[in-house]
Structure 1
Amino acid sequence: MTKTLDISRKLSGDSLSTFIATISATGGLLFGYDTGIISSALLQIRAQFDLTTLGAEIVTSTIILGALIGCLGAGPISDRWGRRKTIMLAAALFIIGTFSAAAAGSVTVLSVSRLVLGLAIGAASQIVPIYIAEISPAHRRGRLVVAFQLAVVMGVTFSFLTGYLLQHASWRWMFGIGMLPAVILFVGMAFLPNSPRWLAMQGRHDEALDVLLRVRASEDIARDELHDIVSQKDRQAPWSELKKPWVRPALVASVGIALLCQLTGINAIMYYAPTIFAGAGFGESSALLTSVAVGVAMVGATFFGGWAVDRWGRRTLILRMLPGAAVSLVVLGLMFSLHLTQGWGAWVTVLSLMAYTVFNTGSLSVAIWLVGAEVYPLSCRGKGMSLVAGSHWGADLIISLTTLSLVRGLGADMTFWLFAAVNAFAVWFVVRYVPETKGYSLEELEARLRNGTFAPADRARQTGRFLNKIPATGTDGVHGRPTEL
């Protein structure tokens, strides 16, 4: 038995997998807090350092640039060192970046500190969902991986609440509070096990079985799962593996979800809601309080999504929720277009924003890390998830650099309508390219990739080829019986 399991010797099965997911998901809490706190702190930072709109966008975006670099670098590191050690490295970067950001005496130091925090966030977004997915049983994988996203939105909400409560204190306290969860993550991960799938990939089958025996309901289930892992285990594949036709459907589905999660506008709302609403006449304190409401809506939607991904399914959840996000943005844009953001119009504006937050966060934001962690074959899962996280952060970088400029150039109404159109496009994309992964083991999903039945469009083509072989009479062509289509 590995030493890392000693702290949880009294736990086993679902209890242990839940404990592991809870500790590792602290990386999501830091992810959410460190990206969200700039929304409140920016109001003070702009005044203290006399920042222009471009300067504010740069300070906001350095953390995203760091995340883009961090997630691409984390894939090879996690394949070589293991998922657990990579998360501990991210925790160490969180500690360093948080301390230096809180102590920053210039815009340059603050920007560099947020770049370091971005490296940590990128690494955490790449590896924590994989770690949880690889250690969780198939029937609970959805809700446990969504625990990471729940931690993200709880971190965002806590950052908004902190910004509101500390609006008359220094922005340095806003950053410094993030030190505590960073230490918890670093210390906690030191006592957790490695991923059994990573251990099997390294040929350490006995250690992999030790972990599986602790996190599965019975020895037979653990041994059968190890057999499935080993039977489909390949050596770590190079980046070029992701370009192969059989892997491409996973790449399209996961990267598409990652891009659309950002391009549909959710982080634009998170980063700039106080600035947008203050500019619309809400007043600084009211704008900050509105952000707290946005955060609470995110948490509630993610709680619901965590239930629905294993009850409804990942794909079904998105298709049921996302149309509501597009409609909400149309209404929100209309309120700004008609200048109805005062009096009763203010309530409609806030409710529309809240509805958009619930529908978008409860669908795409819930699914992004879960689908990305599920769909790739083991041989290139780390690198594939790096591309998922990289796509997410690349799109986030574009959004964070352009949102204020879009609002300034097009107006808030046209900006919200543009995001509404992207939400509508996302519905079409999911219908065509995103499969249902609920209830399948990771090895079963890999088998679907290999046999060409992964994406809905692929299955539709195969069904079409099958139907073309059926005689026009509608019989089976052998016994003359009617066929079931």
Structure 2
Amino acid sequence: MAIYLVCAIAALAGLLFGFDTGIISGALLFIEKGFPLTTVMKELIVSSVLLGAMAGSLLSGRLTDYYGRRKIILIISGMFIIGTLIASLAPNVNAILLGRLCIGIAIGIGSYTAPLYIAEVAPLELRGGLVSLNQLAITIGIMCSYFINYAFTNTEGSWRLMFAIGLIPAILLCIGMFFLPESPRWLVKQKRLREAKATLSYLRRTAHVDQEVAEIERSLNVHQAKLSEIFAPWIRPVLFLGIMLGFLQQVVGINTIIYYAPTIFQLAGFQDTSTSILATVGIGIVNVIATIFAVLYLDKLGRRVLLLTGLVGMCLSLLALSLAFQWDSAYLRWIAVFSTFTYVISFAFSLGAMLWLLVSEIFPLDVRGAAMGVAVFSCWFWNFAVSSTFLSLLNALGPTNTFLLYASMCVVGFVFCYYKVPETNNVSLEKIEDNIRRGLPLREIGQPVSVAPGKALQKPV
């Protein structure tokens, strides 16, 4: 079907996201052999991508609304190519930082534009699985980066080759987006109804798309939204929800595992660089498998069940990892490996898949780009805060207390998600927006309810 091809090509942005964030975990071990690096400099090399991502996610929401989803994805594919060339050919650390910063800007823009584009082209009954293709692509990118890290372990100038492999998906994304249609919802917003109907006819393989176009039109305000409107009282609750989801996805510690997995395994007793990198390949594999599970079952089991189950699994895994370092057992390395794998599996089918899906669903169309930009900025800000302090936390608190801190954040996340996160499964984006406008509590905005004209909306118990 055309819809699967369209979504798969757009999800290449997610693959680049995963590859360029994961590749640094192995490359860093070899960069420091060529350049003298302090702890702060190592943290900067890792987090330079995150600084760029913060800027990209915050500043580009309005650009996406103005120029369209497709054109922006085309632009970021070029940025991936330029940044990768700069980083892989870098003569010094400053050039690496510049290249990684450019890549980060592209990741920041793509991290919400790609799932937004997919959500807007997908039919409601397939939306959860199709949007999660982006998260699956992220995990495949991370897995590929781990394989490449291991494959080039004993190669001269290996970190340059590790970076350069990222040119392949960047070029494929650039070529593929030339042939994809624009988001039909963005076209309706621009009053280009004929193009919107033609696009929907192509994607749905039917000429009967007038009702869907009419629903999109009804969901739009009659005026162009201003940036300040994302802080309007009726939007504020869902904006808060998006910001909190971005916060929670990062403070549970996932990117300390992704970026520093070899470092963690070396602490656990895998002293050989090659062996510690090989152990991370397993993380990449289980990450992909768990995300495939999420793609297949998000639209069957629902968002909340997977989200809450995953948070419990992450908390227990981090507690086990923390205790393993406390006991200093002879089985430390194997407890660390098992706990880390269980943690990654739990994250992949819950917060990993859910953030990008939910923030593409919960915001009204006329402010969707700008509001998603704020929510994704929150994700990248806390990603930077957690990743750039992890090594310092390890030095100050030790691994036991560091992982215990992340476990406590899983508890906070469970409580928040239980009371605030809605179930949006099999509910149209227009219905979700209608529920937000009617003032339903956050947990209830995904309910396919309707209120007869002239009747007051009753707050759910």
TM-score by length of 1: 0.90
Alignment partner of 1:162 is 2:162: no
**Does the CA-based 8 Å contact 1:432-1:457 persist in structure 2?**
no
Which residue of 1 is the match for residue 336 of structure 2? 349
Would the alpha carbon gap of residues 418 and 467 (structure 1) be closer, same or farther in structure 2, given more than 3 Å must change?
closer
Q: Show structure 1 runs of 5+ residues with no match.
A: 1-14, 469-484
**Does the CA-based 8 Å contact 2:423-2:446 persist in structure 1?**
no
Alignment partner of 1:262 is 2:250: yes
AA aligned to 2:135 is Q
Mapped to 2, the partners of 1:384 and 1:459 lie a distance apart of 18
Q: Give the superposition deviation at 1:86.
A: 0.1
Which residue of 2 is the match for residue 328 of structure 1? 317
Deviations 1:184-207 (A, max 9, x none): 000100110000000011110110
Counterpart selection for 1:195 from 183, 186, 190? 183
Mapped to 2, the partners of 1:441 and 1:200 lie a distance apart of 16
Alignment partner of 1:109 is 2:98: no
**Does the CA-based 8 Å contact 1:20-1:192 persist in structure 2?**
yes
Q: Show structure 2 runs of 5+ residues with no match.
A: 448-456
Show the 5 A alignment for 1:292-441.
292-340=281-329, 342=330, 344-441=331-428
Secondary structure of 1:246 counterpart: coil
Mapped to 1, the partners of 2:420 and 2:59 lie a distance apart of 27
Would the alpha carbon gap of residues 233 and 401 (structure 1) be closer, same or farther in structure 2, given more than 3 Å must change?
same
Alignment partner of 1:247 is 2:227: no
Secondary structure of 1:371 counterpart: helix
**Does the CA-based 8 Å contact 1:249-1:433 persist in structure 2?**
no
Mapped to 2, the partners of 1:151 and 1:454 lie a distance apart of 33
Which residue of 2 is the match for residue 7 of structure 1? none
Secondary structure of 1:180 counterpart: helix
Would the alpha carbon gap of residues 31 and 94 (structure 1) be closer, same or farther in structure 2, given more than 3 Å must change?
same
**Does the CA-based 8 Å contact 1:157-1:292 persist in structure 2?**
yes
Which residue of 2 is the match for residue 4 of structure 1? none
**Does the CA-based 8 Å contact 1:39-1:274 persist in structure 2?**
yes
Task: Give identity over the alignment, percent.
Answer: 40
Secondary structure of 1:256 counterpart: helix
Counterpart selection for 1:143 from 129, 154, 166? 129
**Does the CA-based 8 Å contact 2:308-2:414 persist in structure 1?**
yes
Mapped to 2, the partners of 1:422 and 1:189 lie a distance apart of 39
Q: Which has the larger radius of gyration?
A: 1
TM-score by length of 2: 0.94
Which residue of 2 is the match for residue 276 of structure 1? 264
Mapped to 2, the partners of 1:279 and 1:417 lie a distance apart of 16
What is the root-mean-square deviation of aligned Cα atoms in Å? 1.8
Q: Give the superposition deviation at 1:252.
A: 1.9
Q: Give the superposition deviation at 1:457.
A: 7.5
AA aligned to 1:126 is Y
Q: Give the superposition deviation at 1:65.
A: 0.3
Q: Give the superposition deviation at 1:281.
A: 2.5
Would the alpha carbon gap of residues 315 and 467 (structure 1) be closer, same or farther in structure 2, given more than 3 Å must change?
closer
Counterpart selection for 1:290 from 279, 288, 294? 279
Mapped to 1, the partners of 2:94 and 2:307 lie a distance apart of 40
Alignment partner of 1:45 is 2:31: yes
Deviations 1:52-105 (A, max 9, x none): 111100111111000111111221111111100000000000000011111001
AA aligned to 2:349 is G
